[in-house]
Structure 1
Amino acid sequence: MINLNSSITLPCGAVLTNRLAKAPMTERMSNAAYEPIPAHEHLYRIWSETGSGLLITGNVMIDKDHMESAGNVFFGDEAMIPKLKAWTAAGTVNGNHLWAQISHSGRQTNRFVNPNPKAPSQVQLNKLLLFGKPVAMTHHDIEKVIVGFRRAAKIAKASGFTGIQIHAAHGYLLSQFLSPLTNRRTDEWGGSLENRSRLLLEIVKECREEVGNTFPISVKLNSSDFQRGGFTESDSLEVVKKLSDAGIDLLEVSGGTYEKVAFFLGKDEKTQKESTKKREAYFLDFAKQVREISTVPLMITGGFRSYDFCNEVLASGECDLIGMGRPFIGNCDRIADFMNGKVSYLENPPIRTGFKAFEDAAEAGYYARQLINIAEGRGLKANLNPIACSMFIVTHEFKKAREKKNR
């Protein structure tokens, strides 16, 4: 019977030693040259030693002008490969896989990095006044994105990463192209779903040509945007079919954007299906639909917390890998025992300020601070103030952006 400790062979032939994956979480720690620092090595060594079969990095970016965070690592210069090798060596000490999540933030580039980022169309993101009005991409801009993803895949492989994940979820650039709310183009890159998915599929094709047939390529895809008029579940299922035909090795399902942060807070109690409330994971209902149309290995991230439920889902075939994010911060020292069944539940209480407008920022800031604390050797800090956490992302981004501009 398949369980957390069962191995899995991906379509490309790569073998993951077990079914637990550390899901991508942005690290926000690069130096002024956009390079990884010793804290990356320390953090990923800790995560490797948990025993998880797969670690996926947070966003590594293909364009310095379109960073998800001013603290992202930039995969655009092969001269960085030696420093990246130190990161990958630390992150694979336990024989696990370590994949680089490759991304471009598009309109979700904050003002400190770029006040007028490029995006599919001129549709501004209104969130805490952090994002400027985007400029619609030209054909040349789109071609540069394709080249950038291919270059990043090349750098990842040469640096010792054992796979890549192409980020097409959570409202970043490829997700923006997929959604009719943010993609209002009338050329071959917009309009029909075939056109809106063209960029993602072209990038998958180019990356496969670059890394070969035995190197894992994953895609992170939204089940939907959870916004009226946006990328729907039926759209997503059609894209899944296209990705299956394109020969990807793993599909990670998530959902939401910065405007509807279902992927972070996880549960909207007013709109969440009753069947999902009774179960831990947020996207299992959608996963069942994916199973009907695709045989690509499937990873579900969001909400898993109990050992028994993880094994139940794996044994039933509802998904192939269990993705966890915040437990690798708040319960990092318990993951190994969780894998062995000695710890039955990983508790991550929500962070609340009492003010609805600040809740998602407080939770994001809390886990961002704790991740950096662990990476820098300080460990978890008890009793972080939720209000202070709600301001952390803004102040941290301003500081990191200023470091790079003053370099």
Structure 2
Amino acid sequence: MGARQKSPAQKLAESFRLPNGVRIPNRLAKSAMSEALGTMDNRPTERLVQLYGRWADGGIGLSITGNVMIDRRAIGEPGNIVIEDESDLPTLRRWAAAGTRHGGQLWMQINHPGKQSPKGLNKETVSPSAIPFGRDLTAFFSTPRELTQTEIEDLIRRYGNTARIAKKAGFTGVQIHGAHGYLVSQFLSPRHNQRQDQWGGTPENRRRFVLAVLAEMRKQVGAKFPIGIKLNSADFQRGGFTEEESLAAIEALAEAGIDMVEISGGTYEAPAMTGIEAKASTRAREAYFMEFAEKVREAVKVPLMLTGGFRSVGGMVGALDSGAIDFIGLGRLLAVEPDAPSRFLRGEESLHQIRPISTGIGMVDRMALMEVAWYTRQLRRISEGRKPKPNESGLQAFALGMLSNGWNTFRTRRLRA
């Protein structure tokens, strides 16, 4: 008699052991979303404790925080958390304890915005090369200054230091943010990195930075502590990071000992991760970047997480059954339905379907910035013990978000004066 076939709920509830021995209790993972719940001087708050406790209660197996920055001089938005030293360890420990209180994993996503920081927020922005964003974004972002060799080496040490503090605070892993146009993504992209030294000029040189970051993190956290990366399958823009370059980068990272790769795609200039311009066939399949994940699985054995487009239990189980991926990445749904994982683990469908958020203003709707503003408002509601508002107006959320962002940018700059 053959083995009894597992139900969809049982497949999602299967645990997974990483090659380093760390066990993740199920196949559902919360992808990073920017919370902007720090103080105006970028310290963690009890709101993060409340928010991540809520997700832990909701049944998620692996939760990845929103981007935690490594340098107080370089934040991506008001309310970012910055970890440069151990002064906030007590709050960080409460955050880590809340996010792991039912046996799940909580990994800290570690990031630097590079030039992807709104005008006026930092005294200056830096990037591999002094190249501005395209026309649609030049109103929001300044032309950066090119990083020096000494600054690059300092940033690498900072990534490692933040990872060390995360481990000390009780986070069970870390993730390098290498996607969506932030600093690591800028180094990888031939569009944004036009250096001619050891950090640019060829694909091998452009990925030297992320490999150095991984090596420094490993040096500071040890061999058994999980280090993952979120990486674009491609930038989806002319002259940007391609699928071929992404696959080569993943092969190099796998050889260097990365513990998990989360596949995403796009940037604020070309926001493929939102699915706004996804083909009907891609939306029907649910997983936006599944074809690329299949290519990665053929090339490397590193555990893979795929984020973007999942809507149904059947779509999730089908993706896992294909053998191409190991974890289902969930993001925006958890901002409107934080206990959706518990429903999926019972074989039930979610109560809400993610829809495109629209303001009716074409230029705004084409940018990921607007969706970030809408979902950030939902995360704030959960962090305050309130229910999300799935039907909140996109235009209202954008207007209120821009007002809040402008005021908080002013407050942040005033504190730094």
- Please identify, of 165-174 and 86-95, the stretch whose mean Cα deviation from structure 2 is larger: 86-95
Which of 1, 4, 8 aligns to 2:12? It is 4
Shift of 1:344: 5.6
For 1:344 and 1:389, the matched residues in 2 are separated by: 23
What's the secondary structure of 1:343's corresponding residue? coil
Cα distance in 2 for partners of 1:287, 1:238 equals: 13
Mapped to 2, the partners of 1:62 and 1:54 lie a distance apart of: 22
Q: Is there any run of 5+ residues in structure 2 with no aligned partner, and where?
A: 1-5
1:124 aligns with 2:132: yes
Matched, 1:165 2:171: no
Does the C-alpha gap of structure 1 residues 69 and 315 become closer, same or farther in structure 2, counting only changes over 3 Å? same
Distance 1:284 1:267, change over 3 A: farther
Which of the numbers 319, 328, 331 marks the counterpart of 1:325?
331
Paired residues in the alignment total: 403
Residue 87 of structure 2 aligns to a residue whose secondary structure is: helix
Instruction: Give the C-alpha shift of residue 205 in structure 1.
Output: 0.7
**Residue from 254, 258, 270 that aligns with 1:248:** 258
2:31 alignment partner, one of 11, 23, 36: 23
- CA contact under 8 A between 1:364 and 1:390: conserved in structure 2? no
- Partner amino acid, structure 2, of 1:266: G
- C-alpha deviation, 1:223, in angstroms: 0.5
Structure 1 range deviating more: 275-284 or 85-94 = 275-284
* Match 2:248 to one of 224, 238, 246: 238
The correspondence of residues 257-268 of structure 1 with structure 2, limited to 5 A, is 257-263=267-273, 265-268=274-277
2:230 pairs with 201, 204, 220, which one?
Answer: 220
The CA deviation string for residues 290-325 of structure 1, in whole angstroms up to 9 with x for no partner, is 011100000000011101111111122120000000
TM-score scaled by length of structure 1? 0.95
**Equivalent-residue separation in structure 2 for 1:67 and 1:197 (angstroms):** 23
Deviation at 1:252, TM superposition (A): 0.3
1:46 to 34, 47, 54: 54
Corresponding residue SS for 2:63: strand
Trace 1:110-189 onto structure 2 (pairs within 5 A). 110-114=118-122, 116-126=124-134, 127=137, 129-189=139-199
State the TM-score, normalizing by the size of structure 2.
Answer: 0.93
Q: Post-superposition shift, 1:208?
A: 0.8
Q: Distance in 1 between matches of 2:257 and 2:27?
A: 21
Residue correspondence of structure 1 range 377-396 to structure 2 within 5 A: 377-381=385-389, 383-396=391-404
Q: Which digits, 9 at most, give the CA deviation of each residue in 1:256-301, with x for residues without a partner?
A: 11111111x21414xx4x6524300100010011011100000000
Matched residue, 1:397: 405
| Separation (CA, whole Å) in 1 of partners of 2:30 and 2:100 | 13
Amino acid at match of 2:262: E
SS at match of 1:79: coil
Counterpart Cα distance in 2 of 1:221 and 1:78: 28
The one-letter amino acid paired with 2:307 is T
Among candidates 193, 199, 202, match of residue 212 of structure 2: 202
Q: Distance in 2 between matches of 1:10 and 1:381?
A: 36
Contact 1:305 1:346 in 2 (8 A): no
Give distance in 1, aligned partners of 2:389 and 2:177.
30
Q: Is the 8 A contact 1:112 1:397 kept in 2?
A: no
Where 2:65 maps in the other structure, the secondary structure is strand
Name the SS of the counterpart of 2:124 in structure 1.
Answer: coil
1:251 aligned counterpart, secondary structure = strand
Relative to 1, partners in 2 of residues 1:128 and 1:135: Cα closer, same or farther, differing over 3 Å?
Answer: closer
**Cα distance per residue 1:125-181 (max 9 Å; x no partner):** 241612111000000110111011011011100011000000111000010000010
Matched AA of 2:114: G
Deviation, 1:238, is 0.5
RMSD (Å) for aligned C-alpha atoms? 1.6
Residues 326-350 of structure 1, C-alpha deviations (whole Å, 9 max, x = no match): 1111122333112211336741222
